[in-house]
Amino acid sequence: MKDSCSSISQLLERYFDRQATDEERSLVERHLPICQTCHERLTLLEELRKAIKAPVDEALKEETFPWVWEKIERGIRLGKKPSWQESVRSWLDLSPLLRKKVWIPAVATAIVLALVASPLLFKKTPSYSERSVVEYLESQDYNVMVYESEKAKVTVIWLFEELDPSTS
């Protein structure tokens, strides 16, 4: 028993610090009920821990650690500036749009729209020079001739003063 007590007392601090293995812990727990000396020693260790911990906990409650925040703020100020993409993203808060769940359907929709709209986009529209220059024309008493030449870039509007007798 004495040898056993001697070996247990060596393990007691490890047991108290919760560093003992399962086997060692089992050994200590079997020994403690039958050994008053070891039991008292363990009780003493626990009281000692309480005596040390109480004032430390009390001091921690009152302490706000301002120097920690100062250090964090200084770190943020000195930190790397955000890139323009990060600024834009934070400004517009586009991060959800950059997720795959959103942009994959968006890209797919854009491709479909482009395919649908491509005939309209690539359809040749006549330029102004190709279209008629005369929007409308009105003459109550005269015959009017309109002649347009794209090559010469000229539009002729000609009034014939004498009415055609067959039309009057």
Partner 1 sequence: MALRGTGPLHLMKKNIPLIILTLILILLPSIPFAQVQTRLRVIRASNVGAGFDPVLTDVHSQLGSLFNFTSYRLLRDESLSLSLNQPVSISAREGRITIEINLVKLQKSSPELIIRVVREEKEILKTQVRLSPGRTVLIGGPKLREGVIIYAISARF
Q: Which residues bind partner 1 (CB under 8 A)?
A: 69, 73, 76, 82, 87, 90-91, 128-129, 133-142, 144, 147, 149, 152-161
CB of 110 to partner 1, least distance (A): 22
CB of 73 to partner 1, least distance (A): 8
CB of 119 to partner 1, least distance (A): 25
Q: Which is nearer to partner 1, 5 or 133 (CB)?
A: 133
CA dist 101 → 80, 95, 112, 153 (Å): 30, 12, 18, 56
CA atoms within a 13 Å half-sphere pointing along the CA-CB vector of 48: 9
CB of 129 to partner 1, least distance (A): 5
d(CA 18, CA 64): 30
Q: Which is nearer to partner 1, 62 or 141 (CB)?
A: 141
Q: Which is nearer to partner 1, 91 or 122 (CB)?
A: 91
d(CA 155, CA 131): 12
Q: What is the dihedral of CA 118, 119, 121, 124, to 10 degrees?
A: 150
Amino acid at 53: K
Q: Which is nearer to partner 1, 30 or 71 (CB)?
A: 71
Q: Which is nearer to partner 1, 52 or 154 (CB)?
A: 154
Amino acid at 155: T
DSSP run (H or E) holding 47: helix 36-62
CB of 134 to partner 1, least distance (A): 5
